[in-house]
Structure 1
Amino acid sequence: MIRRAAWSICLIMGVVAASAVGAQEPAAAAQAAAARLEAAGERLRDASGARDRVRALTETVQAYEDGLAAMRDGLRRVARRETALSAQLKAREGEVADLLGILQTIETSEPPVLMLHPAGPLGAARSAMTLAEVTPGLQARVNGLKRDLDEVKTLRLLQQNALGSLQEGLQGVQNARTALSVAIADRTDLPKRFTEDPVRTAILISSTETLSGFASGLAEIAGGEIATDNSDISARRGDLTLPVQGLLLRGYGQRDAAGVARPGMLVATRPRALVESPTAATIRYRGPLLDLGNVVILEPQPDTLFVFSGLAEVFGETGQVIPEGTPVGLMGGQTPQADAILSLSGEGAGTDRSETLYIEVRMDNSPVDPETWFQTGKNG
């Protein structure tokens, strides 16, 4: 009996999977994301007294966006880890039951019976040695099983507690965006190269059918002369960060599902993502245009235009000279609620980048590949 018990224990130990490496990483990632959201909340409280409220609130919105993105990723990792552990534990049910039965048989056997062995004293001694060798490994497996069970409980509790952190973070970023919009509207310290004439702007829009035609007539929308600009960002060509956090969806000249190719690139972003000016620039136009939705046209240097279209809200005033990193708008869409984010994290399918920003770069009123200006993860 003792030999059979020892042999069965060895088989079970060989079948049961080894404990996972880096088991605490998903939980640590989610906890770190929660800390980042909490820090963003502190920045929002401090922003009201900041000397440059626009900059402070911009950084706050970015902190919230980073924290929420990290929370989504962390919770997805938590959910995947919890699902994998649960599957492993379920697969072990039969083996663990056999193991418990064997241990129970050994523990309930009378001491004299344990001393008996069909092969005599030598066989009993060998079986005892086998059990002595198996016991440390068996204890390690038991400890590993306990760790897995404890981790499943921790991960499930973490997902439950994350709901509160997510709700606070989502409310916080909404408040920060609203405060940022107000701060930009109240801003009076930016220089202006020209003042827009609304009538001339309306005439230009009604008389043009293409972006190229509108861009070539931009000088006509000014109510007076446009101040000279000697800016030169040629040295930064190819090193500019994208104006929004996102992933390149379609490159310059690539055809979409309808077979239409546009001379720009399309970036997939999350709903309500903040769009910023990648350099210091003049706002040459902001507002609805043609079939492009809300558009912001920036001039970072003479004869060079950055065109961003597809925004839900646009900030600033036409003619203003804005510093690098200044918010120029927000993407559209609806930010998912906390419970929806938790559900997405469990499924791990699809994408939460449901909005798209179209970026076109024009030099001497001709489109060029935006990837020669912006870092996209593909261009070197």
Structure 2
Amino acid sequence: MKRFFPILLLAALAAPVAAQQNTTDVARAAAEALEAASTRLHNAQTAEDRIAALSETLHAYEDGLNALREGLRRVAVRKTTLMTSFNARAGEIGDLLATMQTMERTPTQLHMLHPTGVVGTLRAGMLMGEIAPALDAEAADLRAQLQELNDLELLQNSAATTLEQGLAGAQSAREELASAMSNRADLPQRFTEDPIAMSLLLTSSETLSAFASGLSQTIDTELVEMDTEAWNRMGRLDLPVTGDILRRFNEQDAAGVRRPGLVIATRPNALVTTPIAATVRFVGPLLDMGVVVILEPAPNVLFIMTGLEQGFGAVGQIIPEGTPVGLMGGSSPDGDALLMQANSGSAQNLSETLYLEVREGQSAVDPAAWFAAH
């Protein structure tokens, strides 16, 4: 997509040679993914196709924006390096310019004359033959650095528009996705819910553990049996959201609290998807944990995700792998704020946290048993 072309420029110009390939490849892959997702979205005929295409589009926007932020961060670092070098060499550069200006004003023949006579003049000529190329090389290096600094300035100035376009596109994809998910009616239903039992469970549960343990009482009528394919995928599932793991199973936090799950730092408004086909057991606000999504990928196994701002799906639905189940909260910064973050050396804004817990029967187990969480 044309709107992501500046990402490639930023990556190529801002990164050192050793890092260029990786950053540029990421940017190029994001642009190609956005192009492919846009084509798929245009050709989507069913609700499932449209939702899949919107999910791909949103992921592509997120990857592209992240690549752009990384490029801008590298631009800021490179600019700082150049300016520090210029400031440190201010006296040396001034002397070089003064010397070159003097040499330009002085006739060439006078450079070679020496008051000691012919031998001194010959020695001076030999010395000038060595000095002149070194001065030319130094001047060429200085010109190249000044040109690079000018190019980086231009890239930073043009990046704001690119960022705004990417942020607007991502937000539009989120809104379309939420609308498509709320209107979806083509998913199979595994069971019907007992609304009275669910209401009683919601009002009586004081902990997440108590609520999860009581979910078995909220099923009214079983319609189909569960697929047990999930057991064959244990230990190889992707995390439901892109981010960094802050704390692992039973790892103590700063307040000394241990939780039997993963705490994942992620970007504002990040897309959360199901890592495998599963039945939706609960979607909605619970206690003080924001929106909670509970999936059942296999009999008596629950994936519990808390901290979302928006949840998708209806209780009893069987959803395919990769289906969006919600969005994280938070406020995505505008283009100017992202530029400021990049200038301060920050490439990502992982301000939101998703809590992921896995339960087998009545007990919480280490999510590492199910997820390839490195």
Please give the TM-score of this superposition, normalised by the length of structure 1: 0.87
Deviation at 1:247, TM superposition (A): 0.2
Where structure 2 has 5 or more consecutive residues not aligned to the other structure, the ranges are 1-13
Distance 2:256 2:325 in 1: 30
Give the aligned partner of residue 176 of structure 2: 179
Q: Which amino acid aligns with 1:218?
A: L
- For residues 374 and 259 of structure 1, do their structure 2 counterparts lie closer, same or farther at Cα, with a shift above 3 Å needed? same
Residues 51-200 of structure 1 mapped to structure 2, 5 A cutoff: 51=45, 52-110=49-107, 113-200=110-197
Whose radius of gyration is greater, 1 or 2? 1
Q: Give a deviation string over 1:225-261, Cα, whole Å, max 9, x none.
A: 3532131323322211110000001111122222221
Q: Aligned in 2, Cα 1:127/1:35: closer, same or farther, shift over 3 Å? A: farther
Equivalent residue, structure 2, for 1:306: 303
Report if aligned partners of 2:15, 2:23 keep a CA contact under 8 Å in 1: no
* Superposition pairs of residues 1-380 of structure 1, within 5 angstroms: 22=16, 29=23, 33=27, 36=30, 40=34, 43-44=37-38, 47-51=41-45, 52-110=49-107, 113-225=110-222, 227-349=224-346, 352-377=349-374
- Return the offset for 1:140: 2.0
One-letter amino acid of the structure 2 residue matched with residue 155 of structure 1: L
SS at match of 1:295: strand
Residue deviations 1:111-140, cap 9 Å, x none? 554342134222222221222223333222
1:64/1:173 contact within 8 Å kept = yes
Residues 296 and 32 (structure 1), Cα distance of their counterparts in 2 relative to 1, 3 Å cut: closer
Alpha-carbon contact 1:309-1:359 (below 8 Å) kept: yes
Q: CA offset at residue 47 of structure 1?
A: 1.5
CA distance in 2, matches of 1:32, 1:245: 15
- SS, match of residue 170 in structure 1: helix
How far the C-alpha of 1:376 sits from its partner, in A, is 2.4
One-letter amino acid matched to 1:40: L
Query: The residue matched to 1:80 in structure 2 has which SS?
Result: helix
Deviation larger for 33-42 or 350-359? 33-42
The DSSP-based 3-state class of the residue aligned with 1:223 is strand
Please say which of residues 319-328 and 120-129 is displaced more in the overlay: 120-129
CA distance, structure 1, for counterparts of residue 289 and residue 26 of structure 2: 39
Q: 1:319 to 1:28 in 2, by over 3 A?
A: closer
Please state whether the residue corresponding to 1:56 is helix, strand or coil: helix
Shift of 1:156: 0.8
Amino acid corresponding to residue 245 of structure 1 in structure 2:
T
Change (3 A) 1:231 1:27: closer
Displacement of 1:168: 0.6
**In the superposition, relative to structure 1, how do residues 209 and 371 fare at CA in structure 2: closer, same or farther (>3 Å)?**
same
- Deviation of 1:93 after TM superposition, in Å, equals 2.3
SS in 1 for 2:154: helix
- Give the alignment's Cα RMSD to 1 decimal: 2.6
What are the superposed Cα offsets for residues 313-336 of structure 1, whole Å, 9 maximum, x if unpaired?
Answer: 000111111111000000000000
CA distance in 2, matches of 1:205, 1:153: 61
Counterpart-to-counterpart distance in 1, 2:187 and 2:15: 54
> Per the alignment, in what secondary structure is the counterpart of residue 254 of structure 1?
coil
Q: What CA distance in whole angstroms lies between the structure 1 residues aligned with 2:283 and 2:268? A: 20
TM-score (norm 2): 0.88
Q: Is the 8 A contact 1:246 1:269 kept in 2?
A: yes
AA matched with 2:224: A
**Displacement of 1:24:** 11
Residues 79-103 of structure 1: per-residue CA shift (max 9 Å, x gap):
1111111221232221121112222
Identity of aligned residues (%): 48
Mapped to 2, the partners of 1:350 and 1:86 lie a distance apart of 21
**Distance (Å, rounded) in 1 between the aligned partners of 2:15 and 2:30:** 26
- For residue 47 of structure 1, what is the amino acid of its counterpart? L
Unaligned runs of 5+ in 1: 1-19
1:30 is displaced (CA, Å) by 7.9
Q: What letter is aligned with 1:317?
A: A
Q: Distance in 1 between matches of 2:277 and 2:108?
A: 86
8 Å CA contact retained: 1:79, 1:346: yes
Which letter maps to 1:297? Answer: I
One-letter code of the match for 1:65? E
SS at match of 1:217: helix
CA deviation vs aligned residue, 1:244-300 (integer Å, no higher than 9, x gap): 000001111122222221111100000000000011111111111223221111111
